[in-house]
Each structure stands twice: as structure tokens, then as C-alpha cells.
Structure 1
Amino acid sequence: MITDLRNGRDLGADAQIGNNQLLQEVYGRGQTLHMTVLALGQSFLDGRLDWRIGRLPVGEDFHQFSCNFQNLTFCGAQPGNIVGDYWVNWPTSQWATRLKLNTTESTYVQIGAYQVNPKYVDDGYARRNGWKPDFPDGTTGVLIPLEFVWKPQFNGRAGNYKVGAWYSSAEGSDLYWDRHRQPIALSDGEPLQHSHRDGAYLSFQQKISGTGDSGATVFLNVTQADRDTSATDRQIALGVEYQGLFGRAKDSAGFAVGATHANGRAADHQRLYNQLHPADAGPVMDGNEYVAEVFYGWSPLTSVTLRPNLQYVRHPGGNRGNDNALVFGLKSSIAF
């Protein structure tokens, strides 16, 4: 069993930056105790087939990615960053099952089924029940991710290449049209409901220098969600991490750039709404939020890491009217 305890404040909200992706990836999903993993696992076919069932975050198995950076753009399973209302990453979990088949020594394919329930991502529910392995009512569908993974070795340097897609049977609200195919801003009617939501992703990681744990690893993550229902519909992140700087085996450094795209259909709705209701006009998010981050990870002890970082956010929230932001951060960890 794995639990997660969170307590703190959101720097982006306090400083009124207007950012889409969290400046502190550890913030969010309710500042409280969470039941993160409570699952059983079993292997079959001499270890080729692996099965898990229980309470699991989707990102525990699908599009699994490290969280060495502090900005959420470069942390964890990317789909959860842009469609987090139904793709649930750490620390929140839901009832789920996953099958993984090792097709060769370097390849595998896996498929899962995850409960979609809005209560799991509701902060109020998390504060009251986030630590409980309960069965809340209100389930709206099932999320089914499918992933193909290739883990080659090039001259002894490891790679990790993933291609995945997902389908959610839960309905999603259209960003522009109402139930009668009229603009919502004109009719003020109920949004058109789509019978499902979907998307796809690529994730490439490749070690390019060094031996063992030391050396440089480059990565590229690209995720595209459906444009009908996803307010943020695309995220791209590219970066490099280096382990073993200055002869210190545990020290590391990283640099990454990324972009999170605000869906133009939502912007079209907001523009029309602003024309019709100028006294109640809201911001138009029509473009990319660009983020760059650099960090240095210092490990004075094997189990302790201090990771100061510098972040720069351009067009926070995809809104060109928002001021750019320069952020100094510090991420620390203690591993037992």
C-alpha cells in the first residue's frame, strides 16, 4: 500500500500568475492524505503475463514518467496534465485493473480499465475520503488505455519508447456547441454531450552518453487529446538529464522546454461570449503556455536530494495578455 500526504499552498494562485501547469507538481488533488496504491499483483505464463487489480493511478502504469523537474509540464504521465478530470495521476487513485504481456525481452503491450468518477478529483471529497479505499457512487464510465513499449539497448545505453492511446466511455461536454448545435454563448443552453473522449501519446527516452547510471538521457513527450471536449488539448515536452556531474555519482542536472496548448474552440466560445456580454468578458486562452526549467540536484547523502530550479513561463495559461513569470524553486526528497 502507498499513501501520499500533501499540505501547502499553490504559488501560481498566490502570485496570480494565471499558469495552466502547476509550478509545484506536488501541489493539487486536495491538500490531504490520499490512498494512492492498494493493489494485488500476480504473474502467469512463467512471468510473461502480469496482472494488477485494486486502487491505482493511471500514471502508475501508463505513460509512466519521472518527476525530477518541479513544473508539472515535465512530470508524470502527460495525459493527466491536460485531461486530468478523468485521467488520474498520483496521488489520486481509482479502482482499476491492468494486464501486461511481455512479448519479447525488450517489448511489451499492456491494457487497463480504470473507473471514471468525478468524486476522485474533487478536493472536497479528497479531504473527507481521500485516504479511504471506498466505493463512491457517481461513476460515469471507464477509461481504457492501451500502450506498446520497446526498451532497446544501443551500445549498452538504455532506451524507453512508448506509443499509447486511450478511450473513455464517460460523456464529455462540447466546448462550443449546445445540444441543438447552436453556439453555447448565443443560446446559454446545455452543452452538446459526446458519447466518449479519447487521445494518443508518444514518449521517447534514450541514454546518449556515459555508462551505468552516469551520463545524459534525452526525452520527448507528446500528447494529443480530442478537440471537442478538452480545454487543453495538446502538450509537448523535450529535455535532457545528466547523472553523475563533477564526479559525484548521485548529483544530477536537467533542462527542459515544453508547451501546453489551449484549445482554440474554447477560445472561440469565449470571444463570442465577450462580444455578447462585454460587461462580463473573460480572458481568451488561445495559444500555448511555454515553460522552460533548469535544475541541479545535489545529494549530500545517498538518501537526500536538494534540487534548486529556475522556471520561466511565457504566456501563462495560453493567454498572451498574462505577464511572463520567472520562478525560483527548490524541490527536496528523502528516500528511505
Structure 2
Amino acid sequence: MPVITLPLSPRCRAYVLAVLTAIAFWGTGLPSALAQSETSKSAFTPTDEAVSFPLGGAGQIPIGPLVTSLYGNPHLLGDWGGIQPWLMKRGIFVNVGVNEEFMGNITGGRTRDHVLAGQVAGEVDIDWRKLAGIPDFWTHMLVVNGHGNNFSHTLGDYVANPEQIYGARGNVVAHLVSLYADKSFLHDRIILSFGWMPTGSFFNFDYLACSFMNVAICGNFAPGKYVPGGRDWPSGNLGGIVRFRPTERTYIMAGAFGVTQAGYNGGISGWSWGQKMSGVSTQAELGWSPSFGRDDLLGHYKIGAYYDNSRYPNLYEDINGNSFQATGLPRRYESGQWSSWLMFDQMLVRNGKGVANGLIAIGGLGYAQGNIVAMRDHEWIGLLESGTPWNRPMDQAGIMFQNIDMSHTLRLQQQSSAALGVPFLSNQWGTVYGVQNWERVYEAFYSVHLLRATSLQFDFQYLQHPGATTTFGGAAVVGGQFTTNF
């Protein structure tokens, strides 16, 4: 089988192939990075140990694994005494990734404190052509174990949580993230995926943003990933996706997922697939992967939206359009909820041959239906640079700015709560400490390559209006994360 070899950062461990859901259709534009959120979520730098991806018969589109895979990563412990090569020869790819994080605020926020949180992720990807002679068919399974404490509670900010790793995993030994299959057709120009999978591992995914520790942008933006129709990793959904590549540098994909309005998709463990469904979320995305100039300055641009046909309560209105808190009447329910996005990354200056070896601008914006979603819009812009210019090619540095606006309807609700002297109601972003308006986040990080498949990142963030309120002072946060793939 033909193989394309790409460099991979030591920190890009658990969401390693999530981006292939989109780049499977980027063709010779080449995927820039393989990464994502609450596992070890980091974009890769350009000259680390290489990872190989099998290509389909056409020699153009990677057919698997396509989502949230540790497959192909370098390992701190090498080939496990020959076990890894033996398994891979039979189409079985087994990986274990570890991410440990520390974070504390030195000024501002609800309290002055620090927390530790971490995760162990285990994955099995199977190429059934090698194992049983079934062509162009893969299966994937990913489970995680989360531990530690929640920094959002300490800081009083559930809107732009500086911490990546904590949350939604449940107090269980093995929380199921994904269990699904891929099947390709027409020389891999069409790929069908079906099973239990996070919607955000396919749609509105920004792999480079996962270099940053703030979870509001990694690898799926808020507001889309915190509402039932678009819940992201580690929450899965039952559904299916079709991806099509009409040209070498463009892709189209669409999917449909069952929606549950329970607190956890699949229950607290992720294994309860029999939850009552409230509707269906249909999603679509278009992507373009250009390359500019003699230096092959790669870019990736995507636009998309989803619509969830479930019914949701209006954040403020009763059945007559007044405050439901003031009148005590039943709340107005809205039919359908939508979210949309525009995202990009573009290399500005190349300083090496690696696909991410240069200065790269990343950014985007996302919107949601503000009368039923607490966050109305979210914009972000940042820069990433590999360590090549200062002779540390496997290091990485970045800066990022985010702006988050909460919805007008939500403010009406909270102003009503304040006027009535009743507690603020929690929303999709958790506990509320005051009337929510806007929040801005400024972040800078430096990631040091320590050993094979191992890195240590240092991170600083300043959060203006933590929790999108003026209740607490602006918070200066310092932290770091250690990641490795065994």
C-alpha cells in the first residue's frame, strides 16, 4: 500500500488523526497538523519523528484511521520490545497517551488556587484489509480516564476555561469517546463513517488551535461544541458522515447525529447508547486547501453550519414573551437550534520543509442562536511558530487573542434574576456568578521537546471579565502540561 510520511510533534498524541476527517479531502495540500482538544491537544511541529498514513488505491486520500487516533505516533518506549511491529503487520494499532496539566491564578478570579488534572487515553485502530482481507474498511475505539480537579470552579470562569483536560469524562475507569467504522468507495473519493463518534472530531475542527491550552478554541470552538447538537470530544453521538473530495484541494462533508439533551451523551460513562433522543443534528462543511507561491505556503479554509431540530426553552421568555421568572408561566420553547463557523490557518513565512515549519496565522469566528444558546459569538486570531529559526525545530511557540460575547436574551434573563433577587440560573457553560456580557482572553505559550514523543509546555493567560462578568477581577493564569505517548 502506498504511504505518505509526515512529521509529528511529540505532544500530538490522542487527537492525532482527528484532522484527517477534513484533510482526507485536502489532497496534495498536505495536512498541516494532527491534534486536538481535551486529550493532549497540541498541534505538531514540523520535524519530529515521522508518522506514516496509508493511502487508498488512488494514492491520494488517507482512508484511515480518520478520527481521534493515536495511530502512527512515535512512542517513548519505542516498539514495545517488538510488540508494536507484530501488531501493525496484522493491521492492529494500539496506543496509550498521557497528559498531565497544572494551572493556577496569581491574580483575579473567584479564589487564588492551583489545580492538577490529567488523562490517560487508550486506543485501538484496526485495518481490516490486513487483519481479515476486507478492503478499505477500518474500525476505531478510544477510551479515556480523567482525573484531578476543575480549575473553572476555582477561577469562577466556565466560559473560557484556561484548562484543557478536565471535564465530561465522568468518574469512571474508562469513558468511551468513540467506537465507529470507516468505509471508502470510488477509489476513496467518498468515505462513509458510522457509529459512536464526537461530531467535533469531523466538523468545525481547528487542529492548530489545540496548540493552545485554553479549551474554548481547542480543537472545536465555543459556542458550537457546548450545546447538545454539536457536543464535542469526549462526548460521542450515534450518527454517520459522508465525505467527498471533488478536487485535489477541496472537500465537502455532511453528517447526521442523534441528539440527547441529557447532561452526558452516553451517560456518565459514555457507554449508554440507549438514551432518549430529542432530535437529529445535521451538519455540513466545505473546505479549501490552497498553496501559495514558490515557498508552498499552505492554508486551510473551512465554512460550515449545523441545525438541530430538537425543541429548546427560550432563555428568557414565557409563553407570552415576558420573563418566565417574573410571571411563573411556562417557558416558550423554540423549534430548532443552529450554529455556524468560518475557520482558517495560513502559513505566512516558511522556514523549513515541514508542512508546519513556519509562521502560521490561525483564526475563526462562530455564531449560535442566541435566544436558546448562552454564548452568541466567538472570534479568535493567533500566530504559531516552530522553533526552527532558533535551532529548536521540535519546539513551538504561539500567541492568541479571543473575544466572546454572551447573548442578549441571556442578559435579559440574568437581569430579571437580579431584579427578583433570585439566584442566577446555570446554562450550557455551567455556574453563573453575575450578569454575563463579554470576555476576552490573551494567551502565550512555549512548548519544549524533551524526549521522543514527549514535551513540556509553559502557558500564560490573562482573562478579562472571567466568566463574562465583572464579579471577579481580571485573572492572570500560569500553567503547563506534560504530554507523552508510550
Q: TM-score, normalising length from structure 1? A: 0.92
- Which SS does the other structure have where 2:277 is aligned? coil
Q: Which residue of 1 aligns with 2:415?
A: 271
Q: Which residue of 1 aligns with 2:156?
A: 17
- Which SS does the other structure have where 1:170 is aligned? strand
- Which SS does the other structure have where 1:208 is aligned? strand
- Cα distance in 2 for partners of 1:231, 1:187 equals 21
Deviation readout 1:273-301 (Å, 9 max, x if unpaired): 322x23x3545434211111100010021
* Aligned CA distance change for structure 1 residues 247 and 223 (closer, same or farther; 3 Å): same
- Cα distance in 2 for partners of 1:223, 1:301 equals 37
Q: Which residue of 1 aligns with 2:274?
A: 136
Which residue identity lines up with residue 180 of structure 1 in the other structure?
N
The structural deviation recorded for 1:79 is 4.4
Deviation readout 1:230-271 (Å, 9 max, x if unpaired): 111211111011113421221000110101211121111221
Deviating more after overlay: 291-300 vs 240-249 = 240-249
Identity %: 23
- Which SS does the other structure have where 1:119 is aligned? coil
Equivalent residues of 1:25, 1:71 under 8 A apart: yes
Equivalent residues of 1:41, 1:53 under 8 A apart: yes
- Cα distance in 2 for partners of 1:304, 1:107 equals 34
Q: 1:74 aligns with which of 200, 204, 217?
A: 217
Q: 2:206 aligns with which of 55, 65, 72?
A: 65
1:181 and 2:325 equivalent? no
Equivalent residues of 2:300, 2:345 under 8 A apart: yes
Q: What stretches of structure 1 of length at least 5 have no aligned partner?
A: none
- Which SS does the other structure have where 1:294 is aligned? strand
* Aligned CA distance change for structure 1 residues 321 and 331 (closer, same or farther; 3 Å): same
* Aligned CA distance change for structure 1 residues 82 and 286 (closer, same or farther; 3 Å): farther
Equivalent residues of 2:236, 2:265 under 8 A apart: no
Deviation readout 1:68-108 (Å, 9 max, x if unpaired): 11111231111466633431111111111000010100001
1:147 and 2:280 equivalent? no
Q: Which residue of 2 aligns with 1:195?
A: 335
The structural deviation recorded for 1:202 is 0.2
1:289 and 2:439 equivalent? yes
The structural deviation recorded for 1:19 is 4.1
Q: Which residue of 2 aligns with 1:216?
A: 359
Q: Which residue of 1 aligns with 2:371?
A: 228
For residues 1-336 of structure 1, what are the structure 2 equivalents within 5 Å?
Answer: 1-14=141-154, 16-31=155-170, 32=172, 33-66=174-207, 67-79=210-222, 83-119=226-262, 121=264, 125-126=267-268, 129-130=269-270, 132=271, 134-155=272-293, 156-210=296-350, 211-213=352-354, 214-245=357-388, 246-275=390-419, 277-278=420-421, 280=422, 282=424, 283-336=433-486
- Cα distance in 1 for partners of 2:338, 2:186 equals 32
- Which SS does the other structure have where 2:219 is aligned? coil
Equivalent residues of 1:201, 1:223 under 8 A apart: yes
Which residue identity lines up with residue 34 of structure 1 in the other structure?
H
Q: What stretches of structure 2 of length at least 5 have no aligned partner?
A: 1-140, 425-432
- Cα distance in 2 for partners of 1:227, 1:57 equals 23
* Aligned CA distance change for structure 1 residues 22 and 327 (closer, same or farther; 3 Å): same
Deviation readout 1:195-237 (Å, 9 max, x if unpaired): 1000210001111112333211111120000111011121111
Which residue identity lines up with residue 219 of structure 1 in the other structure?
I
Deviation readout 1:7-66 (Å, 9 max, x if unpaired): 11112212x433412221111113443211211111112211111001110111101122
The structural deviation recorded for 1:122 is 6.5
* Aligned CA distance change for structure 1 residues 99 and 122 (closer, same or farther; 3 Å): closer
- Cα distance in 2 for partners of 1:97, 1:232 equals 27
- Cα distance in 2 for partners of 1:52, 1:252 equals 33
- Which SS does the other structure have where 2:157 is aligned? coil
CA RMSD of aligned residues (A): 1.8
* Aligned CA distance change for structure 1 residues 120 and 187 (closer, same or farther; 3 Å): closer
- Cα distance in 2 for partners of 1:152, 1:44 equals 25
Equivalent residues of 2:145, 2:169 under 8 A apart: no
Which residue identity lines up with residue 465 of structure 2 in the other structure?
H
Equivalent residues of 1:285, 1:317 under 8 A apart: no
- Cα distance in 1 for partners of 2:222, 2:255 equals 15
